[in-house]
Amino acid sequence: MRDDSVTSAEVLLDWYDRHARVMPWRVAPQDRLAGVRPDPYHVWLSEVMLQQTTVAAVRGYFMTFVTRWPRVEALAAAADEDVMALWAGLGYYARARNLLKCARAVVACGGAFPQTEEELRELPGIGPYTSAAIAAIAFDAPATVLDGNVERVMARLFRVADPLPGSKERLRGLAAGMTPLRRPGDYAQAVMDLGATICTPRSPSCGICPWFDRCAARTAGDAEVYPVKTPKKPKPVRGGTVFVAFRGDGAVLLETRPDSGLLGGTLGFPGTPWAEAPLDPCPPVRADWAPVGEVRHTFTHFHLRLAVQVARGVTAAPSEGRWRRDISPGEVPTVMAKAWRLALAH
């Protein structure tokens, strides 16, 4: 590492010691310097939850999980449906399925998380970013952590004009060159905090940035231009129909989606596949069905328009799914909760 990079790292660590965000899974820098070590289970769980999700959204979920399953052994022994139910609302349900697979793999190997990036990547659901984050934060390894915040900080610090995602590896190399051997775990969290609180996507607070006099984009006065991104293609629109059936006693018809595919393994209402050319709806049970409107939801790669049909006082046996009387919107994915609320309103 160059001498100026060492100095930059020390400046950032000094800022982090005074301004680190407080998070339930994080060991404060003062405690870490006093010898308190992070719990690898907490680090891993929070990093999986934080993928494609905000810190504000994750706090409550994290506390719920560690209260119910305080150790990786407890999570590994949990029923799949219980974990999927508590995950509802976090999105990207493949993460929840891999969460269970990973917990069980760790327990099968003795209950201790591996400490190197290479070994961590062999676990289900752990890719380059997550393995680097766990290695750095939990085990203080000098791993290069590259999330969206770090990409933005590096792109501005070095004024990288090449657009993302093509410039990702260059940004990774720049970030690696900045990573210190001293306190690499705190440094990784410091860069992420810097991007989340000061070097924000819009209106960065350059005047209070610890790297104020080191940032090429700030010096040029065009920090908001970076990182440059390749224009996104418009998202396609898909459609489908969902059927919300009520039995006379108030029970509702539910199904568990297949493990593979979008929302895999989650609880929801029977319906048609989602396609750009929607299929003719085929109800799961004989009843007087009434259309009550449409709900809309946006996934990573497409927009969804889901027609909702409702039937009440159903007496016939369904061709699929099962009846339940204790359903709540919190047990189902967000798009299904939207359909549920629309059905109740009618």
Q: How many other CB atoms are found less than 10 A from the CB of residue 276? A: 9
Active site residue 47: yes
Kindly name the residue from 47, 117, 151, 331 that is annotated as catalytic. Answer: 47
Distance CA 326, CA 250 (A): 9
| Peptide bond before residue 329 is cis, with ω within 30 degrees of 0 | no
Question: Taking the model in full, what pTM does it have?
Answer: 0.83
Distance CA 346, CA 337 (A): 14
Distance set, CA 339 to CA 93, 291, 308, 343 (Å)? 18, 12, 6, 6
User: Are residues 157 and 217 in contact, defined by beta-carbon separation less than 8 angstroms?
Assistant: yes
Could you tell me the maximum CA-CA distance found in the chain, to the nearest angstrom?
A: 76
Give the contacts of 53 (CB within 8 A, at least 6 positions apart): 90, 91, 92
Per-residue pLDDT tens listing for the chain (346 residues): 455 776 899 999 999 999 999 999 999 999 999 999 999 999 999 999 998 888 999 999 999 999 999 999 999 999 998 999 899 888 778 899 999 999 999 999 999 999 999 999 999 999 999 999 999 999 999 999 999 999 999 999 999 999 999 999 999 999 999 999 999 999 999 999 999 999 999 999 999 999 999 999 999 999 999 999 999 889 999 999 999 999 999 999 999 988 878 888 888 999 999 999 878 889 999 999 999 999 999 998 999 999 999 999 999 999 888 999 888 777 889 999 999 999 999 8
3-state secondary structure of 225: helix
- Count of positions (residues) in the chain: 346
* Gyration radius (Cα) of the chain, Å: 24
Distance CA 336, CA 256 (A): 12
Distance CA 164, CA 323 (A): 48
